[in-house]
Amino acid sequence: MAKKKKQDNPGGIQQSKLSVVEKEELKEERAKERKVKEKERVKKEKKERKRRNPLTFFKNVFGELKKVTWPTFGQTVKKTGVVLAVVLIFSLVVFGIDQGLAQLYNLLTRGFAS
């Protein structure tokens, strides 16, 4: 029979031997460490960023727009037709449900009024 290997947490303390308070303190300590690391990472990223000229930014934007594969007029018309058809179908379904519920409401209210 193989022996089970005890797994330690990164701090070297076995989880089963920690009290509830110690576990909470360990969680808080790890959370603080994560926050400090995140702040350091953000600080490093800010240092690496350079202020760019707005003109360069817009040149890059237009350069990227030139790379886009735009749909043809026919594709646009077909997709627009599909969208309109789906909207019409769902509108009819919602209208039907609304009318059915209105009829049910009228039936219930007139039934109790009599």
Q: Which two tokens stand for residue 110?
A: 């007139």
Q: How many residues does the chain have?
A: 114
Q: Where are the domains of the chain?
A: 69-114
Cβ atoms of residues 24 and 11 within 8 Å: no
C-alpha–C-alpha distance, residues 111 and 46, integer Å: 71
What average pLDDT does this structure show over 1-18?
56
pTM of the model: 0.43
Residue 4 has pLDDT above 80, yes or no: no
- DSSP for residue 16: G
Query: So what's the pLDDT on residue 86?
Result: 98
Cβ atoms of residues 11 and 26 within 8 Å: yes
Helix H or strand E segment including 112? helix 73-113
Lowest-pLDDT choice from 10-14, 35-39, 84-88: 10-14
pLDDT tens column, 97-111? 999 999 999 999 887
pLDDT tens column, 16-70? 667 888 888 888 899 999 999 888 888 888 777 767 788 988 999 999 999 999 9
